[in-house]
Structure 1
Amino acid sequence: MDRHGLVCRTVLEQPDITQREMAQKLKVSLGTVNGLIKECIGKGYIAERTDGGGGSGWELTGEGRRLLEGYKVDGALIIAAGFGSRFVPLTFETPKGLLEVFGERMIERQICQLHEVGITDITIAVGYLKEKFEYLMDKYDVKLLYNPEYSDKNTLATIYRSRKVLKGRNMYVLASDNWMRENMYHAYECGAWYSAAYQDGETKEWCLSFNKRGRITDVKIGGRDQWVMYGPAYFSREFSARFLPVLEAYYKSPGTEQFYWEQVYVDMLSGEARHRLEQEDGELLNETVRASGLSPAHWDEIEMDANRQPDNQVYEFENLEELRLFDPRYQNHSDNAAMKLVAEVFKVPESQIKDIRCLKSGMTNKSFLFKVGERHCICRIPGPGTELLINRKQEKQVYDAVACLGITEHVIYMNDRTGYKIAEYYEGARNADASDWSDMDRCMEMVRRLHQSGITVGHDFDIRERIDFYEKLCSSHGGILFEDYQEVRGWMDWLMDRMDAMDRPKCLSHIDANVDNFLFLGDGGVKLLDWEYAGMCDPIMDVSMCAIYSYYDEADMEKLLAIYLQREPTKDEYFAVYAYAALGGFLWSLWAVYKSALGDEFGEYTIIMYRYAKKYYRKLRKL
């Protein structure tokens, strides 16, 4: 940092400051401050003043103000795109940066602190639940910048998407979920820095080495009794001029999708960035050097200081447990529907709900794992739009009907109106492996047991009705259908007419016989989970659904059918398994289009399912 600039900024903000106070503020010795003041007076940046009553202090001269002008902060970028998985279930409803600490939303606290020092040009990079941030545009006149890659890439991609906001400007780079006790922002900053906090004992954070002037010289992950990267950062325009070309090159390089933006800086500092780009792509390296405007020998040189903060100044809450310890309100009054429900079901205060962890979100629901006493459980929260897709009363009827078979998970609570469900978590269990035919033999054994149980319910799974319904949902919610949709829809009508003519028998079927729904327990047992779509249907439907969910080819699908039947299939059974595979693929592709219109994306799943519809229709027409 320009230490003359720091002296000038300090005099501007606090003209009555003493040399001793300035030494403490700048974290240097009293002798160093005395020397800096003498130099600043000599350069005409500051002048000593007296107030006539014996008091004294400093004043900034015109030359000093001109010096500071180059260090004026232009604005701030606040990163708020991520999900915040370690704060579930709160972040199922609210982005992490919008959580309150002592009654004040974390992102709003930072915006207000920026405003206090005159920084009002603020851009928020959003992604997950982006609509939740819209009100800030009116309340604080901020700008929102959407990062479409928020769900599958890390902050390197967020900075890449925001690079135009940073180029040629002096900018704070903040995380929406940081909390600063005292305002650490200024109208002027005299060089790039990263906030640092001292951590006693072992740490897995990014540990800093720096010289006597505070310039960072090395960064290592993990250490003991270290200053660590912790909190906000500041990008000077000079820093960004060197940093952003390399970050852009990293973004274009494979294998960097999960990188934090800090990794680029660390690699530049260590020389790894030069090595990576030299190995990666010669043209990409040349482009990076040209963009930096520097010589090939110096394009990767980078300077950033450690902005050491006192204890209890900066907080990066790692998980809900840390937030609970900091703000006692979260111990028993989180204002979250799922937490409130768990507390009511188990008749405990929220503080006794421990070890909360996000489970991988399903395609229909979101779930989290928790512990109350010695019981490990899973709470299911229905996803957006689910109330139109799932009849919860019918789901509960199925669970009640098959309870005597003992093949489902142990359900502790189920609400047939909201769809919330709490079930036992099976420690050490695993999902079925679609490539392991011994696993699939046991899965089909369980499906046969269900089909042969004689249990009935009062509703069908009617694939014609479901296709019609999903098609209407897509149309009413702006879902973009496939270019050849009308033609393929005609093909599906032909298949459904053929299946109706075959008049095959019905029994209670699971419909969603995905391998992920078969749970192999540590004691050798098997459970079949998630009966949301179950109803009376042709039992071959379960075989077809299991096959397409497993992305089986034709040979594997026919092998699975033979395992289920325990004999050679008939011609009609072969026809049925392919027809339902086509119809199922068509149905789930419509489902995915509808979910996409609601903001959920499932990658290539939509196309794979649609391809099944076309592929197996064509196969059956040839038979």
Structure 2
Amino acid sequence: MSTIAIEDAIAKVGMWAGRPLRFERIAAGITNLNWRITLSDPQEIYFLKIHGPGTESFIDRDVAHEAAIKAGDAGIAPRLLFYDAADGIEVYEYLHGFRSCGVLETQHPTIRENIVRAYKTVHATQTLSVVKDGFAQLDQHLNRLRRMGAELPRDFEEMLWQRRRAEAAIRAAGMDLVACFNDGYVSNYMYNDDLEVKIIDWEYAANNDPYWDLTMFSWENFYTDSQSRRELIEIYDGAYREDIAARVHLYVGVASIVWGLWATYQSLTSSIPFDFGKYADLIFARGRMAMAVPEWERALVTV
């Protein structure tokens, strides 16, 4: 799919027909083009997203649309106001007073708690039409890269062996499947002066184990020590559980492979001026670290 020009995208939005407005590019996001739309009479502000070229090859736009609506209905995301699937246009309510988190902000105890509780809200109230747990996400990326003949790390078969061990242990323990965000990229969390939180960009959403979301949040925001992990589990479940801590540790290893493969694919296809290859190397290294410590072996028998 080629990317529609912003002027043409605006013309598609019927609620803006004949109304004077201005548009401003928002320099954020990795795969899409984002714009702030300001109408002058009366003044209203909206957020417009144009799907990035080629993103349909790794994003299920139908389930992303479903997730955007349901997350908005749950009150933890902006409401979707307009959607054009053919040209890849989405218009959302503008989150006045909200700004994107960095890792420093997600360390704030209130913001951290509100993010975890937002996840708990959507997990407890929503399901989606597609199931894609972390292992299925990994296989999707891997199969695509193998078809492309992509070069993978020299120790990748060892990493896959560890993935199979983790999958066997987790599937034997069982998992619930609920609507999950499946991402965790830090700027997808937004907060205001009252430290209220919204979670944006539900593009990778699908039914999954809710502890995958907890893992992705801890992994992306460097809640990696045992005390931080304990605190996240206590916020989410009300009490600490060793089996959940073990599950989260195993998911750190698996998620590192998932996102290392994602970054590898981006390094081969993306036109964005970012060194995705080096990013992939760093993510794979985090996976090796999770698998190399004694906690990995303990997790396999504790989950």
TM-score of Structure 1 vs Structure 2, range by shorter chain: 0.7 to 0.9
**Equivalent in the alignment of 1:259:** none
Measured against aligned partners, the alpha-carbon deviations of 1:395-425 in whole angstroms (never above 9, x if no partner) come to 1222333443222112221234554211122
Give matches, 1:220-299, under 5 Å: none
Q: Is the 8 A contact 2:80 2:90 kept in 1?
A: yes
**Is 1:341 paired with 2:9?**
yes
Give matches, 1:513-592, under 5 Å: 513-522=184-193, 525-555=196-226, 556-568=228-240, 570-592=241-263
**Equivalent in the alignment of 1:481:** 152
**Equivalent in the alignment of 1:219:** none
Q: Tell me the secondary structure at the aligned position of residue 24 of structure 2.
A: strand
**Letter of the structure 1 residue corresponding to residue 90 of structure 2:** K
Give the drift of 1:565.
Answer: 2.2
Tell me: CA distance 1:492–1:460, structure 2 relative to 1, closer, same or farther (3 Å): same
Q: Tell me the secondary structure at the aligned position of residue 447 of structure 1.
A: helix
Q: Tell me the secondary structure at the aligned position of residue 508 of structure 1.
A: strand
**Equivalent in the alignment of 1:605:** 279
**Letter of the structure 1 residue corresponding to residue 17 of structure 2:** V
Tell me: CA distance 1:465–1:519, structure 2 relative to 1, closer, same or farther (3 Å): same
Higher gyration radius (CA): 1
**Equivalent in the alignment of 2:62:** 393
Following the alignment from structure 1 to structure 2, what is the Cα–Cα distance between the partners of residues 451 and 438?
Answer: 20
**Letter of the structure 2 residue corresponding to residue 452 of structure 1:** A
Please, which runs of 5 or more residues in structure 2 have no aligned partner? 299-303
Q: Tell me the secondary structure at the aligned position of residue 532 of structure 1.
A: coil
Please, which runs of 5 or more residues in structure 1 have no aligned partner? 1-91, 94-335
Q: Is the 8 A contact 2:69 2:80 kept in 1?
A: no
Q: Tell me the secondary structure at the aligned position of residue 91 of structure 2.
A: strand
**Is 1:617 paired with 2:288?**
no
Q: Tell me the secondary structure at the aligned position of residue 106 of structure 2.
A: coil
Tell me: CA distance 1:481–1:403, structure 2 relative to 1, closer, same or farther (3 Å): same
Q: Is the 8 A contact 1:450 1:508 kept in 2?
A: yes
**TM-score when scaled to structure 2?**
0.85
Q: Is the 8 A contact 1:589 1:610 kept in 2?
A: yes
**TM-score when scaled to structure 1?**
0.43
Q: Tell me the secondary structure at the aligned position of residue 289 of structure 2.
A: helix
Following the alignment from structure 2 to structure 1, what is the Cα–Cα distance between the partners of residues 64 and 249?
Answer: 27
**Equivalent in the alignment of 1:468:** 139
Tell me: CA distance 1:522–1:419, structure 2 relative to 1, closer, same or farther (3 Å): farther
Following the alignment from structure 1 to structure 2, what is the Cα–Cα distance between the partners of residues 424 and 602?
Answer: 32
Higher relative contact order (CA 8 A, sep 6+): 2
**Letter of the structure 2 residue corresponding to residue 392 of structure 1:** R
**Letter of the structure 2 residue corresponding to residue 622 of structure 1:** E
Following the alignment from structure 1 to structure 2, what is the Cα–Cα distance between the partners of residues 524 and 343?
Answer: 36
Q: Is the 8 A contact 1:384 1:598 kept in 2?
A: no
State which of 436, 442, 456 in structure 1 corresponds to 2:127. 456
Give the drift of 1:428.
Answer: 2.9
**Equivalent in the alignment of 1:371:** 38
State which of 409, 412, 426 in structure 1 corresponds to 2:81. 412
Q: Tell me the secondary structure at the aligned position of residue 452 of structure 1.
A: helix
RMSD: 2.4
**Letter of the structure 1 residue corresponding to residue 6 of structure 2:** A
Q: Is the 8 A contact 2:229 2:245 kept in 1?
A: no
State which of 95, 99, 103 in structure 2 corresponds to 1:426. 95
Q: Is the 8 A contact 1:369 1:378 kept in 2?
A: yes
Following the alignment from structure 1 to structure 2, what is the Cα–Cα distance between the partners of residues 410 and 402?
Answer: 8
Q: Is the 8 A contact 1:413 1:422 kept in 2?
A: yes
Q: Is the 8 A contact 1:513 1:545 kept in 2?
A: yes
**Is 1:443 paired with 2:115?**
yes
Question: Which protein has the bigger helix share?
Answer: 2
**Equivalent in the alignment of 2:21:** 353
Give matches, 1:111-150, under 5 Å: none
Q: Tell me the secondary structure at the aligned position of residue 481 of structure 1.
A: coil
Question: Which protein has the bigger strand share?
Answer: 1
Q: What fraction of aligned residue pairs are identical, expressed as a percent? A: 21
Following the alignment from structure 1 to structure 2, what is the Cα–Cα distance between the partners of residues 404 and 367?
Answer: 22
**Letter of the structure 2 residue corresponding to residue 343 of structure 1:** A
Q: Is the 8 A contact 2:73 2:79 kept in 1?
A: no
